[in-house]
Amino acid sequence: QQARSVWVYAFDQADPRDRTRLGGKGANLAQMVQWGLPVPPGFTITTEACKAFWQAGERLPDHLQSEVSMAMLRLERAAGKRFGDAFHPLLVSVRSGAPVSMPGMMDTILNLGLNDVTVRALAYQSQNPAFAYDSYRRLIQMFANVVFHVPLDPFEHVLQSAKARHGCKFDGDLAAGAWKEVVATCLRVYAERVGEPFPQDVHTQLRLAIEAVFRSWRSQRAMVYRKLHNLSEDLGTAVNVQAMVFGNIGEDSGTGVIFTRHPATGERALFGEFLVNAQGEEVVAGTRTPQPIAELAIKMPTVYRSLITVAHQLETRFRDMQDVEFTVERGRLYVLQTRNGKRTAQAAVKIAIDMVHEGLIQPQEALLRVDAQHLRQLLYRRLQSTDGLAVLTKGLPASPGAAVGRIVFDANTAVAWAGRGERVILVRPETTPEDIHGVLAAEGVVTLHGGMTSHAAVVARGIGKPAVCGCDDLRIDMEKLTLCAGEAMLREGDWVSVDGGMGMVFIGQGTLAEAQMANELNELLAIADQVRRLRVRANADTPEDARRAREFGAEGIGLCRTEHMFLSPARVPLVQRMILATHAVERKAALDELLPLQVADFTEIFRVMDGLPVTIRLLDPPLHEFLPREEELVANLGRLRAKATSESEIAEVEQLLCQARYLREANPMMGLRGSRLGIVYPEIYDMQMEAIVIAAAQAVESGIQVELEVMLPLIGSTKELRHLRERMEQVGQAVMERLGVTIDFRIGTMIEVPRAALTADEIAEDASFFSFGTNDLTQMTYAFSRDDAEGKFLNVYFDRDILSSNPFETLDTRGVGRLIRWAVESGKSRRPDLKTGVCGEHGGDPASIAFCEELGLDYVSCSPFRIPVARIAAAQAAL
Ligand code: ADP
Ligand code: MG
Ligand code: MG
């Protein structure tokens, strides 16, 4: 009776569910063997052995050797050959395979078991000496490479010079005698490089190979890969020892890789490549050009039919698209590996929905087959091809989508050029709210400074324009109107192509491919809508945004920022007059002119959102954001004086400058903004409230159903809130009386100041809803300036593992999240029907959405283009 194995499991005996110990490759090989698919026999050494190997200071654990010997005996019986035998030698591959897929990151050795004796037997058995000696050569160089890290070149050189000497173009043209010479030379090269002869003892070969595969777990590239994909260092790799089959034994043999469906489009048809008379690694090595799999149907029709059958079996049993490695030996098909295939977002959606239709998976499972974050790719335009376009620069992928246009360097030029029908790309050192009209006019934005949450990025994402930020190798010369990167120099008006999803800028005019919400995506969204509990609203500031948001399935507006309405070029002078006013009467006059404009904005938004809630936030940013920058004003003043312009014109600029200086604050984000502005300059909020109520009345008049929520920003204490709430209620009441109507509205607040979160029970007495403004809340809780942190130190924090993700993209659940949880609980303790939601960038981030679901918030609100992502993520969170 054989003792129970600890480290080693044969494919036909292992438990395929145990992926942690068998690794993905081993588990699937065991599974396929147990289903009766044509897989060469073999066994798996577990990841536990790998961990033990590392713990013992790179020593194989004690009983491993004897377990491997037992398993080899069994394998010999199954294969009908013996390891190291002089007549019927068994050859094996020694293959890595971790619990998570790390394609190509670790090592594998083929043809193990060949030596000076067995190679002769293989030559005789196969009646193909060239094949046998070539296999031996491959073993020698792979072994040297994997076990002793000898580069492949010296061995390749031996082969190349042999071909040259014999006047052969292809490896296959070399005669058996020449192969023997090649092997002899390779053995010499091996001994020189390694410092000892190639091990003729096959058991030594096996032991060294197993150790080397374990060691490859901690190779440089494997570690880099794990860091990149956030994979644990503790998993370890398994080792699979498997009987060799030979695709390189003749013209009736070969090797290849297939996907059971198209990995880019999801189309249901075999997709892949194969090579006749070749061994494994050649398909990927790129030395010979593989043929499309359809050719196999012509060359080897029986094999092709078996492949179709196998593909079908694998799909129905694994219930997912498979990526399959196979080899054909003398007309017989063998499967060497299968795994769930990597795919594009488009393919993921199509395959998931097709599989629901085929009855392979349940609708809810389909939801789990897509990566919500990944889906964003589908909602934007793309560059059809970048062939022939030189890269200008690479920056941060700040806002996805693609754009092609001519460079301009300032917002006014962007507007002017766009006005005459040009497509432009706005390139700026950074953008500020002052540039918004330029961002709106441009097809895309490129900035030198700023990160993923910089102004340009946030605005561009909100309106769905591609942006690449932080291209710090670019230099702009505003005098000469040129843009340089390395050797390249572009002028204003030159064409560039921007890919905001990749963070790339190319020189020249690429071709754009339109995005489309395919039927499959709509079907998936419909499934999501049935599953999710969280409502999904949009951050939309304009009627166009609102329309787009509804198309994408928004169930209301969670954040309508009124400042963007103040920033359109036509209104800026009015707003500036309002700011420059030295007393209330003057300010009121300017506001009176703004009022009808605001009314028109709101009416249109109510119309678009008919029947759905609309949350309007009163003015939030510090007033200086509506004035030109001080330096610009100073420069302008200099120019005006030099030209001896009229006194009144100079006086106007002087006044602007004076006011800009007066409004300047050391910490504007903690300064006179939000509710503080509403308290200090009450006329502004009065006007906004009046406009909102008039607009609502007009909308109701024309049969629109209005569900109005008025939101006060940057509240820190309940007294601030009460003060403003009472005033807004009075204004609202007065307007309604004047118009002779009643409009229902609720007043609530953003929770974005930590103190508001901490005193949420008090705050809830005056707020009928809380909307967590997680951008500011993160900024203030972490004390990270959102506009500077990325450029200045976040990257260092990522590199040093002090932060693992950007808290402005993915909610910091331990800190900021704890404040939110506290605020929700204490707010509801005082007001059980308190409505809660998140607006801010996090509202469109799948991980953050999962946290909102956990807290039982009522809704998330995100930019229109993220709504489909949020719908899917909300459903995934609910499952
Ligand atoms: P990777 O994880 O890098 O894909 P594999 O262990 O899958 O490494 O091996 C690479 C290739 O080597 C396989 O795709 C297959 O073509 C070939 N190979 C591995 N084991 C065998 C075997 N037992 N017989 C024939 N070819 C093999
Ligand atoms: Mg493989
Ligand atoms: Mg805020």
* Vertex 786: Cα angle to 781 and 792 (nearest 5): 110
Q: Do domains 381-513 and 532-622+665-878 have the same CATH topology?
A: no
Q: Is the pLDDT of residue 593 over 80?
A: yes
Q: Which residues contact 726 (CB under 8 A, 6 or more apart)?
A: none
* Residue whose CA lies nearest to ligand 1 atom number 6: 95
Which ligand gives the minimal distance to the CA of 283? 1
* Residue whose CA lies nearest to ligand 1 atom number 4: 104
pLDDT of residue 284: 57
Report in angstroms the alpha-carbon separations of 815 from 108, 603, 778, 806, 825: 45, 39, 9, 13, 16
* Vertex 280: Cα angle to 88 and 263 (nearest 5): 145
- The 10 Å CB-count burial string (b at 16+, else e) for 196-226 is eebbeebeebbbbbbbbbbbbbbbeebeebb
* CA count, 13 A, side-chain hemisphere, 445: 39
Report the separation in Å between the CA atom of 232 and the middle of ligand 2, taken as the mean of its atom positions.
21
* Residue whose CA lies nearest to ligand 1 atom number 22: 244
pLDDT of residue 486: 87
Which ligand gives the minimal distance to the CA of 669? 3
Residues 678, 712 contacting (CB under 8 angstroms):
yes
Ligand 1 within 6 A of 146 CB? no
Q: Using 50, 70 and 90 to split pLDDT, how confident is the model at 517?
A: low
Atom nearest to 325 CA in ligand 1: 14
Distance, CA of 713 to CA of 854 (rounded, Å): 25
Q: Which of 246, 336, 339, 342 for a ligand 1 pocket mutation test, highest count of atoms within 8 Å of Cβ?
A: 336
Four-point Cα dihedral 842, 843, 846, 848, nearest 10? 50
> Other C-beta atoms within 10 Å of 822: how many?
14
Report the separation in Å between the CA atom of 108 and the middle of ligand 2, taken as the mean of its atom positions.
9
Atom nearest to 242 CA in ligand 1: 23
Query: 774 labelled as ligand-binding?
Result: yes
- In the three-class reduction of DSSP (H, G, I as helix; E, B as strand; rest coil), residue 557 is classed as strand
Ligand 1 within 6 A of 108 CB? yes
Element (H, E) at 108: strand 108-112
Indicate the DSSP class of residue 841: G
Question: In degrees rounded to 5, what are phi and psi of residue 180?
Answer: -60, -40
Indicate the DSSP class of residue 625: G
Report the separation in Å between the CA atom of 738 and the middle of ligand 3, taken as the mean of its atom positions.
33
Average pLDDT over residues 360-374: 94
Query: Which CATH number is correct for 254-340, 3.40.190.10, 3.90.1150.10, 3.40.50.12780, 3.30.470.20?
Result: 3.30.470.20
Domains in the chain: boundaries? 8-243, 254-340, 381-513, 532-622+665-878, 629-664
Query: 405 labelled as ligand-binding?
Result: no
Q: Which residues contact 90 (CB under 8 A, 6 or more apart)?
A: 75, 76, 79, 81, 82, 83, 84, 113, 243
* Residue whose CA lies nearest to ligand 1 atom number 11: 280
Residues 614, 556 contacting (CB under 8 angstroms):
yes
- Rg, Å, the chain Cα set: 34
Q: Is the pLDDT of residue 656 over 90?
A: no
Query: 617 labelled as ligand-binding?
Result: yes
Q: Using 50, 70 and 90 to split pLDDT, how confident is the model at 57?
A: very high
What does pTM read for this prediction?
A: 0.84
Q: Is the pLDDT of residue 508 over 80?
A: yes
pLDDT of residue 225: 87
Distance, CA of 285 to CA of 282 (rounded, Å): 5
Q: Using 50, 70 and 90 to split pLDDT, how confident is the model at 364?
A: very high
Which ligand gives the minimal distance to the CA of 257? 1
**Range name among 161-165, 397-401, 825-829, 855-859 with the lowest pLDDT average:** 397-401
pLDDT of residue 1: 40
**Range name among 95-109, 632-646, 745-759, 763-777 with the lowest pLDDT average:** 632-646
Report the separation in Å between the CA atom of 621 and the middle of ligand 3, taken as the mean of its atom positions.
8
Residues 609, 556 contacting (CB under 8 angstroms):
yes
Report the separation in Å between the CA atom of 773 and the middle of ligand 3, taken as the mean of its atom positions.
6
**pLDDT tens digits, 93-109:** 999 999 998 877 888 99
* Residue whose CA lies nearest to ligand 1 atom number 19: 93
Residues 11, 337 contacting (CB under 8 angstroms):
no
Query: 116 labelled as ligand-binding?
Result: no
What are the tokens at 197? 């002869």
- In the three-class reduction of DSSP (H, G, I as helix; E, B as strand; rest coil), residue 741 is classed as coil
**pLDDT tens digits, 528-552:** 999 999 999 999 998 989 999 999 9
Using a CB cutoff of 5 Å, list residues around ligand 3, an ion: 752, 773, 776
Ligand 1 within 6 A of 280 CB? yes
**pLDDT tens digits, 440-482:** 899 999 999 877 767 777 778 777 789 999 898 999 999 999 9
Q: What is the value of ipTM here, to two decimals?
A: 0.95
Query: 752 labelled as ligand-binding?
Result: yes
Average pLDDT over residues 756-780: 97
Report in angstroms the alpha-carbon separations of 660 from 371, 566, 583, 636, 865: 47, 17, 17, 14, 35
Report the separation in Å between the CA atom of 338 and the middle of ligand 2, taken as the mean of its atom positions.
8
Topology given in CATH for the domain delimited by 532-622+665-878: TIM Barrel (3.20.20)
Which ligand gives the minimal distance to the CA of 561? 3
- Residue 54's Cβ-count burial label (10 Å; 0-12, 13-18, 19+) is middle
From 772, 769, 767, select the one nearest 753 (Cα to Cα).
Answer: 772
Query: 871 labelled as ligand-binding?
Result: no
Average pLDDT over residues 619-639: 87
Query: 773 labelled as ligand-binding?
Result: yes
Average pLDDT over residues 86-99: 97
Q: Using 50, 70 and 90 to split pLDDT, how confident is the model at 287?
A: low
Ligand 1 within 6 A of 245 CB? yes
**Range name among 97-106, 133-142, 454-463, 830-839 with the lowest pLDDT average:** 454-463
What is the residue-wise DSSP string for 306-351?
HHHHHHHHHHHHHTS-EEEEEEEETTEEEEEEEEEPP--HHHHHHH
- Residue 127's Cβ-count burial label (10 Å; 0-12, 13-18, 19+) is exposed
* Residue whose CA lies nearest to ligand 1 atom number 18: 280
pLDDT of residue 539: 95
Dmax (CA) for the chain in angstroms is 108
Q: For the chain, give the percent of residues with pLDDT over 70.
A: 99
Average pLDDT over residues 700-724: 97
Catalytic (active-site) positions: 455, 839
What are the tokens at 665? 């604050």
Q: Using the Cα atoms of residue 812, residue 816, residue 819 and residue 820 in order, give the sign of their dihedral.
A: negative
What is the residue-wise DSSP string for 579-607?
HH-SSHHHHHHHHHHHHHHHHHHHHHHHH
Q: Is the pLDDT of residue 286 over 70?
A: no
Distance, CA of 344 to CA of 371 (rounded, Å): 10
* Residue whose CA lies nearest to ligand 1 atom number 9: 108
Q: Is the pLDDT of residue 691 over 80?
A: yes
Residues 825, 795 contacting (CB under 8 angstroms):
no
Ligand 1 within 6 A of 327 CB? yes
* Residue whose CA lies nearest to ligand 1 atom number 17: 280
Topology given in CATH for the domain delimited by 8-243: Dna Ligase; domain 1 (3.30.1490)
Topology given in CATH for the domain delimited by 381-513: Glucose Oxidase; domain 1 (3.50.30)
What are the tokens at 231? 């994979």
> Other C-beta atoms within 10 Å of 163: how many?
17
Instruction: Specify the residue for token string 């010479």.
Output: 181
Report the separation in Å between the CA atom of 345 and the middle of ligand 2, taken as the mean of its atom positions.
23
Q: Which of 274, 337, 338 for a ligand 1 pocket mutation test, highest count of atoms within 8 Å of Cβ?
A: 337
**Range name among 79-88, 399-408, 649-658 with the lowest pLDDT average:** 649-658
Helix, strand, coil percentages for the chain (3-state, nearest 5): 50, 20, 35
Ligand 1 within 6 A of 270 CB? no
Q: Using 50, 70 and 90 to split pLDDT, how confident is the model at 516?
A: low
Report the separation in Å between the CA atom of 211 and the middle of ligand 2, taken as the mean of its atom positions.
19
